[in-house]
Structure 1
Amino acid sequence: MNQDILARNNIKVKGNGTVPMLFAPGFGCDQNVWNTVAESFEDNYKVILFDYVGAGNSDLAAYSPDKYSTLEGYAQDVLDVCEALKLEDVILVGHSVGGIIGALASLKKPELFSSLIMLGPSPCYLNDPPEYAGGYEKEELTGLLDLMEKNYIGWANMFAATVMGNPQRPELSADLEERFCSTDPVIAKQFAQATFFADNRKDLPNITVPSLILQCTDDVIASLEVGRFVHENTPLSSFRVMEATGHCPHMSHPEETIRLISEYLAGDMASFEKKETGDRV
């Protein structure tokens, strides 16, 4: 069973340390998006990289439309990876929906995790006025899914540029577009549906693992308002607005990403907003 999971999720284990750091990619991405950031932690941590089923070099034969129709299926895979490697006190670093997937995994087995680090998370992409502005109307997201079905290459080109931001560095968008295009279009559309129509706002107050929310500047996918919502509704959370722009700081601004994660793990919290008992300090 363990070998099956190692192959299913194309798990790679690197590093010289004993404390595990598990890196969860965002939507449409494989584990290689983490290469620069993850490598910087290999001297002191056990670094674990993996692919979601349907992405990268995962086992496509393991894909189940029913299981992966919701984010819970992906969260179970995270737990399977932890079990297969017999991990404890895991530091989970998740980008975008990868952070929410990590949060869902921590709700199922909080004892497995010591920290949850989320880059640009959004618990709900749909606007729900007047209480919540997720950033998108239902018609916009439905149109996105329609474009994926009718013109996947065109969607990948458009969406990669939107997600990455940083138009002055077109090579970053091209890299992300290539990753989108290497994913099975049918699986990608179902993952998109599970991601963009999920509503995990009510799960946030139940998270018991100490958490860090890193929020990019000018992020059109997960706005500053959304980042603050995650922070204000997640117990034991810390929050930092990054100088990085766009939605993929681990790719566009890896040095800042590495520095802030390192500061958080070292307990150097002077520049972070904290939420411990319901009040910001």
Structure 2
Amino acid sequence: MPDRSFRYPLRWHVMDALERGADILWPATFSRMTGWLLAAPAILLVGLLVLGLIQIGDASMHVLDTSTFRMSEAYTLANYADAFTSAVYFKVAWRSLLAAALTTALTLAFAFPYAYAMVRTRSATVRKALLIALFLPFFIGQVVRAYGWLIILGNNGIVNDMLGVVGVEPIRLLFNFPAVIFGLVQYMLPFGVLMLAPALTAIPEETEIAAGSLGASWPRAIWHVILPMARPGLIGAGIVVFTLSLTDFAMPAILGGGSQDFIANAIYDQFFRTADQGLGSALALMLVALGSLIVGAVFTLFGAGTLALGARK
């Protein structure tokens, strides 16, 4: 005898109605196009990005007429010539590359042990505490954090007050290159940990046990076993941190005090201070090209890391 007490749940009716609606809007004959439908938002975003780059490229071919403050109608490469021959922009580009490289190296150096401890700890409480400490900065904007460091590291800030207690004169901790690097590392650390954690999770803990059983000490096991196996995660984290650091605007502007500008700050100045959209567009395209060349070189030398599916190991 059938069970008459059974009642068809309301949510099942809703799901059936949605399924019938989906069949009407997207018949089974369109199944081959489902993948394109799912990829449509990403294709739209990429298309808008390409259109924006085309417009920026067009603007970069026009120079600013200082008599009328309008862009010239003639096409020219004068903006690129000015950018390549200017000692100021060469210095800014070199500072940006050096800062991005240092930030990447320091971030990975701090992110690896943090991610390793978070993945390997057996205490759920410790793991939760590490996760909370990792995600908490995401709830605070970059600008707010930068201004927080102004309060902490200023001449009358907490650090110099503590140094004054022990008789040390105030030290200039802000508006210099190390302050920018410090701010960038603090900002990029969560990104590095989040990129490294999946790579370390995929490495079985038995691998370290096996290395120890063969006579390897824990540091040797980390250096010769864990680090090589975590290389895809290190490459992926390095690429993300490097590109974000290379294009950063807030930390150089706030912690650098205007004396440690990066390329992004120079682009901002051309667009919004001197109103030279042509030169600003040329600098923007040069930044895109520089970042793309560096990332392409890393992919060629080391592989795409965690950013590629099915990459060779």
Choose between structure 1 and 2: higher helix proportion: 2
* Alignment TM-score, normalising by the size of structure 2: 0.22
* Alignment TM-score, normalising by the size of structure 1: 0.24
Structure of higher CA gyration radius: 2
Answer 1 or 2: higher relative contact order, Cα 8 Å, separation at least 6: 2
Choose between structure 1 and 2: higher strand proportion: 1
